[in-house]
């Protein structure tokens, strides 16, 4: 069988009509498959990637960027992917490059605000670390994006911390999610993410530590499974991220809550929140989906009414199938 490079060379010397006939019969190697899969995932968001970003999110180990660039050139030549300046995309559209660059600029503008809000959130009782997640963690913000925060709390006090933050948002921010979306909490004794899939791996790999640097490292040390999805991934630097610390006022409030029945208060806040979610959203989801979208355990709380995880995985499966059909491939999730 001829090599990929031989087949690409033949394509170059064939007339256009013949090229159209054979373009679906291009041999694709393992590295190319993983390049395509990385680009397809981010194509859900119309977000082109650079070579170094593709390397980071490859599903196979690859230490040589030069080899990766070579395979990118092969895929570009065969029109399986497209290149615009330093960006690569499944779509043949420069508009997505311009869109990304605008979004990158907005993310850079919002990052200082996120750091300020993270320090504020960290002053709440029982909060130990605050990370940026969602759009900002991907380096992209637009008019529809929120500032999403992933919060780590003291064990046995997660629901108190969550309730105080939600009360602040509802009373002082008129329940606005735009700059203060606190929808994912875990305690520091349960940092391993239970749902292990491409979506959660991407979220975990991209969170930005804003406060509590030591807990960022603990989070990743507790989720070594991430390497099975992104073997080339490396953690973000934390030398400029504040370590976790509680001031005298926060310690006083925590001690007071502990003395005044913190365990009962914790159970009460968890119960009323779960009942509200069930009442408002229960009829819209099946039992299994509800448990994921509105995760409610003593050590974890997630409030994702749009069930974004399931939506993204479904869209990714559709994109894989469409690409397989177009190029006669058998890529799987």
Q: What is Dmax (Cα atoms) for the chain?
A: 82
Domain residue extents for the chain: 4-93+313-327, 117-302
Whole-Å CA distances, 127 to 57, 124, 155: 30, 6, 10
The encoded tokens of residue 4 equal 């990929």
pLDDT recorded at residue 275? 93
Whole-Å CA distances, 218 to 12, 179, 222: 51, 26, 6
Name the pairing type of β-strands 181-187 and 148-153.
parallel
For 83, how many CA atoms within 13 A lie in the half-sphere containing its CB?
Answer: 15
> Radius of gyration over alpha carbons of the chain, in Å?
23
pLDDT recorded at residue 281? 87
DSSP state at residue 195: S
pLDDT recorded at residue 27? 62
pLDDT recorded at residue 5? 39
Closest-CA residue to 203 (of 302, 82, 281, 329):
302
pLDDT recorded at residue 174? 64
How far apart CA 7 and CA 11 sit, in angstroms, is 6
Among 3.30.420, 1.10.287, 3.90.1010, 1.10.10, name the CATH number for the domain at 4-93+313-327: 1.10.10
Rounded to two decimals, the pTM is: 0.88
How far apart CA 181 and CA 189 sit, in angstroms, is 23
Q: Name 229's bridge partners.
A: none
Which residues are CB-neighbours of 288 under 8 A, at least 6 positions away? Answer: none
Size (the chain), residues: 333
Q: Show pLDDT as tens, one digit a residue, over the chain (333 residues).
A: 434 434 333 333 333 333 333 333 456 799 999 999 999 999 999 999 999 999 999 999 998 999 999 999 999 999 999 999 999 999 999 999 999 999 999 999 999 999 999 999 999 999 999 999 999 999 999 988 889 999 999 999 999 999 999 999 988 876 666 678 998 999 999 999 999 999 999 999 999 999 999 999 999 999 999 999 999 999 999 999 999 999 999 999 999 999 989 999 999 999 999 999 999 888 888 888 888 888 999 999 998 767 889 999 999 999 999 999 999 999 998
């Amino acid at each position: 069988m001829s090599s990929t490079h031989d087949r690409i060379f033949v394509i170059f010397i064939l007339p256009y009509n013949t090229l159209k006939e054979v373009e679906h019969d291009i041999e694709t190697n393992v590295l190319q498959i993983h390049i395509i899969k990385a680009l397809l995932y981010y194509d859900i968001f119309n977000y082109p990637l650079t070579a170094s970003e593709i390397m980071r999110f490859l599903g196979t180990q690859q230490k040589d960027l030069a080899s990766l660039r070579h395979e990118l050139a092969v895929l570009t030549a065969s029109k399986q992917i497209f290149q615009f300046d330093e960006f690569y995309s499944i779509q043949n559209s420069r508009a997505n490059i311009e869109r990304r660059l605008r979004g990158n600029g907005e993310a850079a503008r919002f990052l200082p605000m996120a750091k300020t809000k993270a320090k504020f959130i960290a002053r709440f009782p029982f909060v130990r670390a605050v990370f940026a997640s969602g759009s900002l963690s991907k380096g992209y913000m637009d008019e529809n994006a929120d500032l999403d925060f992933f919060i780590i709390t003291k064990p046995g006090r997660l629901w108190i911390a969550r309730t105080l933050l939600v009360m602040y948002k509802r009373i002082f921010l008129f329940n606005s999610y735009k700059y203060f979306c606190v929808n994912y909490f875990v305690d520091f004794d349960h940092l391993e993410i239970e749902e292990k899939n491409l979506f959660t791996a991407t979220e975990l790999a991209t969170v930005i530590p804003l406060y509590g640097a030591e807990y960022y490292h603990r989070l990743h040390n507790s989720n070594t499974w991430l390497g099975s999805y992104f073997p080339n991934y490396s953690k973000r630097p934390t030398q400029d991220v504040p370590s976790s610390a509680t001031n005298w006022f926060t310690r006083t409030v925590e001690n007071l809550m502990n003395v005044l029945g913190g365990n009962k208060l914790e159970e009460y806040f968890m119960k009323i929140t779960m009942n509200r979610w069930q009442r408002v959203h229960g009829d819209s989801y099946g039992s299994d989906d509800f448990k994921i979208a509105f995760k409610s355990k003593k050590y974890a709380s997630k409030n994702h009414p749009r069930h974004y995880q399931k939506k993204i995985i479904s869209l990714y499966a559709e994109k894989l199938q469409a690409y397989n059909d177009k190029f006669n491939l058998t890529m799987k999730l």
